[in-house]
Amino acid sequence: MARIEWVKQRLDNWAMWKAKEESGGLGFPGQSSFLREDHSGYREAIIPIDDCDASVTNDAVESLKDGRWHLYECLRLIYLADTGIRGAAQRLGKAESTIKAQLDQADHVLSAWFADRASRRK
């Protein structure tokens, strides 16, 4: 199995959304626009967070708690705790290859969850 790119993108968006949520983000910038202005000539692209998409992804990830706790915990460590593969493996007492396999498996389980949700909505 291999990672599913669109699921990874949803998980990245979810991680940014959760970070904003945990920092008490209310949609307002934490700094004035004048202070945020970059005068170096280099501007980093700002990736917008899709709140609706992230909320649905959160539901999908939360669904893993029932029967697939190991996948939930893997995603939590990788995406929310930002441990990386090695850190997640150390915290969970698993091999790095196991963490990679669990990420692949989580992608496929989430992909099926999204497909099932779409078919129920039709």
Residue 76 reports pLDDT greater than 50: yes
Higher pLDDT, 71 or 39: 71
- What's the domain range around 12? 5-22+50-121
pTM of the predicted model as reported, rounded to 2 decimal places = 0.80
Alpha helix segments (H runs only) across 23-95: 33-36, 51-63, 69-75, 84-92
Amino acid occupying residue 117: R
In a domain, 83, yes or no: yes
Write the CB contacts of 68 (distance below 8 Å, at least 6 apart in sequence).
106, 109
Task: Provide the number of structural domains found in the chain.
Answer: 1
- Residue-averaged pLDDT of the chain: 87
In a domain, 33, yes or no: no
Mean pLDDT over 103-119 rounds to 97
The predicted pLDDT at position 23 comes to: 78
Write the CB contacts of 103 (distance below 8 Å, at least 6 apart in sequence).
3, 74, 75, 78
d(CA 90, CA 96): 8
In a domain, 55, yes or no: yes
In a domain, 37, yes or no: no
The two structure tokens encoding residue 35: 């202070």
In a domain, 27, yes or no: no
In a domain, 38, yes or no: no
In a domain, 82, yes or no: yes
In a domain, 92, yes or no: yes
The DSSP 8-state label assigned to residue 8 in this structure reads H
